[in-house]
Amino acid sequence: MYNVDFSVVLQAKELLLQGLMITLKVSLMSSILAFVLGVFVTYLRDLPNNFYKIITNIYVEVARNVPLLIQLYLIYKVYPHFGLTFSPINCGIIALSLYTGAYISEVLRSGMNSIVMQQKQAAYALGLNYFQTFFMITFPQAIRIVIPALGSQFINLIKNSSLVSFIAVVDVFYVIYKGAADDFRIYEFFLVGALIYMILSGFVALITNILEKKLKVYGREVRV
Amino acid sequence: MHDIILNSEMLFKGLRITIILGLLSGITSMILGCILGLARYSKILPLKIISAIFIETTRSIPLVLYIVFIYLTCSPILASINIFRDDIFGSLEFQSAYIALSLFTSAYIAEIVRSGLKSVEANHIQAAKALGLNVFQRLQYIILPCAISRMMPALVSQFISLLKDTSLASIIGLIEFTRSGELIYERTFRETEILILIALVYFVICYGMSLISQRLEKRPFALIRLGF
């Protein structure tokens, strides 16, 4: 019979907290970077310039069709050969932001596609340039529509941040895995780990719901 | 390049395991996901609650955690059962990766199935009821043909991410494509070539799948002719 004993987890409390800090740091930094990158890529895709379109399409397709683990290894193990050396944590942040940035740009693009053409034409007719049209007219409307999808991308990012443990960053998952493997307290450690990730993603889901309600414009609901 | 050619046999073995793992867990998760999605869509309360708890917990846990948990907890049981003597299917790593990936993906597929079923207009269902079709007939003739064509893009992207996620099984020591590449460059120190080759192969497979799905989206009736 298996005796449930949480004292082992309590002993590893400090390590867990340190790991949680690392996880939070990695996910926060990379969600900001990924969002900025996603918006930038969406802007480039929106410009009437074929060169930018090709470049951004290549980036998005490559980032979406290569496993995150391979991208992480590429940045961690291959970039140093070309003179780009980062600390493991920064590698994780860069890989996660590049990976999630592509997904976010796809989400934003689907939002941009739902904005009618006339909005853009009216903005150009009023004398706004591309930059102004994007950031003052189309983008604010597009982002409202895609807030739930964006939230799920950020939740995915938090879950994917557990992959940084593959390049020896001591995050929550690493602490839990090591604890479970060393002490054979598998159920306790994994229960705590699952709870931590569930709380984190639940928090993001809560923020998404609040934002969705706050930013809703009546009469502008999306027709499904 | 020389090292890749010398070790190509190992890479092919790894690729074979990756593809077998992806295919098997794709099929299993499709079946499980349909059952779970229907359970959550149904009006029977216990079924609804159980499937909702499973789906929501699974969706908020990272896959690596899932794989390692299944490996650590199920391998004693799997070892005692030990049905397969084959060197691929018989390994505990393969079996636990297969279980973990199938369960994990089935939760996502269940959500896709549910949203596809919910997207069918209520009028259609009411009309079917008025014509006297029972539950299964409604599903077969009215709801599923409509829902499947709407679910297709999301399903294909889920299968693509399943194939990408098989690379995570390397954490429990399953020698699939990523791990076999790792083993080679740990010996030969040729990370650059091997990692770029691996990335290329994954890219070709996943992008090919997404291209096929784009073509199928343009011609939805091709699916029906294929037997869906």
- DSSP states along B174-215: ---HHHHHHHHHHHH--HHHHHHHHHHHHHHHHHHHHHHHHH
Closest to B203 (Cα-Cα) out of A104, A69, A67, A73: A67
Alpha-carbon distance values, B98 to A145, A180, B108 (Å): 37, 21, 16
Residue B148 has pLDDT above 90, yes or no: no
The boundaries of the domain holding residue B131 are 2-225
How far is Cα A168 from Cα B66, in angstroms, rounded to an integer? 19
Q: B160 and A62 in contact by Cβ < 8 A?
A: no
Contact list, B191 vs chain A (CB under 8 Å): 73, 77-78, 81
Q: Is residue A224 part of a domain?
A: no
Q: Is residue A2 part of a domain?
A: no
Residues B66-91 have pLDDT tens digits of 999 999 888 888 888 777 767 777 78
Beta-carbon count within 10 A of B9 CB:
10
Q: Is residue A40 part of a domain?
A: yes
Contact B115, B148 (CB under 8 A): no
List Cβ neighbours of B73 (8 Å cut-off, separation of 6 or more).
A186, A187
> Of A116-120, B64-68, B210-214, where does the model show the most confidence?
B64-68
Beta-carbon count within 10 A of A140 CB:
13
Q: How confident is the model at residue B220 (pLDDT cuts 50, 70, 90)?
A: low
The percentage of residues in chain A with a pLDDT greater than 90, rounded to a whole number, is: 58
Contact list, A160 vs chain B (CB under 8 Å): 62
pLDDT at site B82? 72
C-alpha A198, offset from chain centre: 16
Residues A189-202 have pLDDT tens digits of 899 999 999 999 99
Mean pLDDT, to the nearest integer, of B173-178?
A: 89
- Spell out the long-range contacts of A52-60 with Cβ–Cβ below 8 A and sequence spacing 24 or more: A56/A105, A59/A102, A60/A102, A60/A105, A60/A106
The boundaries of the domain holding residue A81 are 7-214
Beta-carbon count within 10 A of A202 CB:
13
Q: Where are the alpha helices (DSSP H) in chain B?
A: 2-6, 8-41, 45-59, 63-81, 92-118, 122-130, 135-137, 144-165, 177-188, 191-218, 221-225
Residues A155-192 have pLDDT tens digits of 999 999 999 999 988 999 999 988 888 878 888 889 99
Q: How confident is the model at residue A224 (pLDDT cuts 50, 70, 90)?
A: very low
- CA angle A152-B73-B102, nearest 5°? 45
Contact list, A73 vs chain B (CB under 8 Å): 182, 191, 195
The per-type count for chain B, helices as H runs and strands as E runs, is: 11, 0
Q: Is residue A64 part of a domain?
A: yes
- Report the C-alpha dihedral over residues B33, B34, B40, B45, rounded to 10 degrees: -110
Mean pLDDT, to the nearest integer, of B45-51?
A: 92
Residue A50 has pLDDT above 70, yes or no: yes
Residue B228 has pLDDT above 50, yes or no: no
pLDDT at site A223? 46
The CATH number covering residue A177 comes to 1.10.3720.10
Q: B195 and A197 in contact by Cβ < 8 A?
A: no
In terms of phi and psi (left: phi > 0; alpha: psi -120 to 50; beta: otherwise), the region of B201 is alpha
Instruction: Report which residue type is found at B60.
Output: S
How far is Cα A155 from Cα A140, in angstroms, rounded to an integer? 22
ipTM of the complex model: 0.88
Q: B164 and A66 in contact by Cβ < 8 A?
A: yes
Contact A55, A75 (CB under 8 A): no
Q: How many domains does chain A have?
A: 1
Within an 8 Å CB–CB cutoff, is residue A99 touching chain B? Answer: no
Chain B positions touching chain A (beta carbons under 8 Å): 57, 60-65, 68-69, 72-73, 119, 160, 164-165, 167-168, 170-171, 178, 182, 185, 191-192, 195-196, 198-199, 202-203, 206-207, 210
Q: Is residue A55 part of a domain?
A: yes
Which range (A10-14, A68-72, B52-56, B65-69) has the least confidence?
A10-14
Q: B73 and A197 in contact by Cβ < 8 A?
A: no
Residue predicted with more confidence, B152 or A90 = A90
Q: How many domains does chain B have?
A: 1
Residue B225 has pLDDT above 60, yes or no: no
The label of the residue with tokens 């999630």 reads A100
Chain B nearest-CA residue for A80? B192
Q: Is residue A201 part of a domain?
A: yes
Contact list, B195 vs chain A (CB under 8 Å): 70, 73-74, 77-78
Size of interface A-B (CB pairs under 8 A): 92
